[in-house]
Structure 1
Amino acid sequence: MQHLLTFDSLMSLLTLTVLEIVLGIDNIIFISIQADKLPGHQQKRARLVGLGLAMFVRVLLLLSISWIMSLTQPLFNLGNLVGLTDPEWLEKTAISGRDLILLLGGLFLIYKSTAEIHDKLEGDEHENTGRKTAGFWQVIVQILLLDIVFSLDSVITAVGMADHVEIMIAAVIIAVAVMMVAAEPISNFVNKHPTVKMLALSFLLLIGVSLIAESFDQHIPKGYIYFAMAFSVFIELLNLKVRSKQKPVQLHDEPHLPEKHKKD
């Protein structure tokens, strides 16, 4: 137990906790958007259940480190299927279990984000009303599927940064606790500002593309992605400040503006 209280262990815990929180931002965005489909009294519960499932999945995966590491071993090779013989190309076209999970997760994110953007901008009111009252467990299942994808990437990162599984689990629990506190204000802010919601959906599209690229061993540094997201949020905050006294933007599934706004 004493080896967990050393300076190096505590620094690993702090660093890994911060990294887990950063990696969990996209998870919070997805959970917030999915929870917004539910009636108001179920949204907070959905966020807490979603983040609780994320913590459970990550801890379970951390306790199965040997299995996680086996996911990086090639299952089959696309190069062999098309008759490639160059060793360099064969190495690039090898597909592992992790690659398949990232590929399916990326495709799912792109599909969900594109469908949400279409519904917000092009969908009619009847369709959006139907989506607004989606079933609680239907939303939870979708959150759980994406939790598995996000957790896999997070767990592999944790394994590479810490030597003791106890530190990894502690970092995950602390990070999820912080995200549970931050989830509601983030969700309220995203849902209050339609342009921010469009920006959040665009982030999910970007993350989906990065997951697909990662599944084909085309690594996109996370720093570039999060810098682009942070810069976009900063610009949008400036836009919100400028537009604070102007007529607000509305999406299809939101209440109509009061008459006084229509006349302005």
Structure 2
Amino acid sequence: MADLLTIENAGNLLMLLFLQAVLGFDNLLYISIESQRAPVAQQKSVRFWGIIIAVASRVVLLFVMVRLIDALSDPFYIFDWEGVLTGGVNFSTVVFIFGGIFIMYTAVKEIAHLLSVEDTHADIEGKSGKSALQVVLLIVFMNLIFSFDSVLSALAITDVFPVLATAIVLSGLLMLLLADWVTAFIQKNRMFEVLGLFILLIVGVVLLGEAGQAAVHGAEAMGMDHDSAKDLALKVFGYEIVPMSKSTFYFSVLVLFAVEIIQSGYSRKLAAERKAQSGGSLHG
């Protein structure tokens, strides 16, 4: 126990908490939006149990990855279609590709649903026929997809399991505290749901970008030098698939929020001017 109570582990824990908070934003957004697909009376419990089970699953995933990191990192297939598709594929590559496509599909489907000609009030009351169990299972499943990014990044900081597990549990508690607030905010400000779905669309692109370099990171984790590992990067028609940087991702999110806020303010201003003009014409 005394070996765990060191300044190095304390510093790593603080770094991991910050990392989990940054990488957990898109996960929390997904949970808040997806939980609204459940029956209204069960949405709060869906968020609670979804996060609890997801955090427990993430700790199990972390334990497995610590034990099997070499097996998960080792490329199991090398594409060699020169000029078409080249590069290595490991387990993380498959997860990122599958997760990215699924998140993009979900975002596009929900955006199309919002644009469909349906009764908006009915849409707010119950957005889909999904049961609470279906939503919880989907939240847990997608949390595991998001987990690969944060767990792999966390393992780059430290391999001390208790420190890693503590960071995951504490970040889960933070998500429990914020989930209801984020959901309530989205429900009160409906235009931000569309914004959230477009952010999820970007998240899908980010995951696909991570897939392109997953085999490279895995090879480097196994001790291969950087130049040799770079040959494992996925290339499509000669173009290397590179991940979007976190700074670019959050800058894009901030720009989307700024555009939405400015546009909403401008719309209110135009509505007030039209109301004033129509009131003046009636008096005239």
1:223 to 228, 247, 260: 247
What secondary structure sits across from 2:77 in the alignment? strand
Amino acid at match of 2:133: W
Rounded to whole Å, the distance in 2 between the matches of 1:143 and 1:28 is 10
1:197 paired to 2:193:
yes
In 2, Cα distance between equivalents of 1:245 and 1:60: 52
Deviation at 1:240? 4.6
Q: Is the 8 A contact 1:61 1:68 kept in 2?
A: no
**What TM-score results when the alignment is normalised by the length of structure 1?**
0.82
Residues 52-131 of structure 1: pairs in structure 2 closer than 5 A: 52-64=52-64, 65-79=66-80, 82=81, 84=82, 93-125=87-119, 128=123, 131=127
Equivalent residue runs for 1:99-248 within 5 Å: 99-125=93-119, 128=123, 131-217=127-213, 218-240=242-264
Aligned to 1:260: none
Q: Equivalents in 1 of 2:95, 2:159: separation in Å?
A: 25
What CA RMSD, in Å, does the superposition of the two structures yield over aligned residues?
2.5
Q: Map Cα deviations across residues 120-175 of structure 1 (whole Å, 9 max, x no partner).
A: 11253499577434211111222122111101111111111124111110011111
Q: Which amino acid aligns with 1:229?
A: V
Give me the whole-angstrom Cα distance separating, in 2, the residues matched to 1:96 and 1:123: 43
Cα separation, 2, equivalents of 1:147 and 1:69? 23
**Distance in 1 of aligned mates of 2:35 and 2:270:** 28
Contact 1:3-1:9 within 8 A present in 2 as well: no
CA–CA separation in structure 2 for the residues paired with 1:9 and 1:241: 47
> CA offsets per residue over residues 181-232 of structure 1, 9 Å max, x none?
0111111111221221111000100010111122122222122112221342
CA shift for structure 1 position 244: 6.2
**Aligned residue pairs: how many?**
240
Q: Identity rate of aligned residues, in percent?
A: 28
Q: One-letter code of the match for 1:199?
A: L
- CA shift, 1:50, in A, is 1.6
Deviation digits for residues 22-51 of structure 1, max 9, x if unmatched? Answer: 111111111111111122221111111121
Supply the AA of the counterpart residue of 1:112.
Answer: T
Q: CA offsets, 1:69-110, max 9 Å, x none?
A: 42221111222xx3x4x9xx98x5111111011101011001
| Higher mean C-alpha deviation, range 225-234 or range 52-61 | 225-234
Larger Rg: 2
Unaligned regions of 5+ residues in structure 2, if any? 214-241, 272-284
Is 1:14 the equivalent of 2:17? no
Q: Aligned equivalents of 1:141 and 1:123: distance in 2?
A: 29
Distance between the aligned counterparts of 1:167 and 1:231, measured in 2? 35
Shifted more, 62-71 versus 10-19: the winner is 62-71
- Code of the residue aligned with 2:190 in structure 1: it is P
Change in 2 beyond 3 A, CA 1:131/1:229: same
**Distance change in 2, residues 1:101/1:195 (3 Å):** same
- Shift in Å at residue 238 of structure 1? 4.6
Q: Is the 8 A contact 1:68 1:156 kept in 2?
A: no
Supply the distance in 2 between the matched residues of 1:231 and 1:19 (Cα, whole angstroms). 22
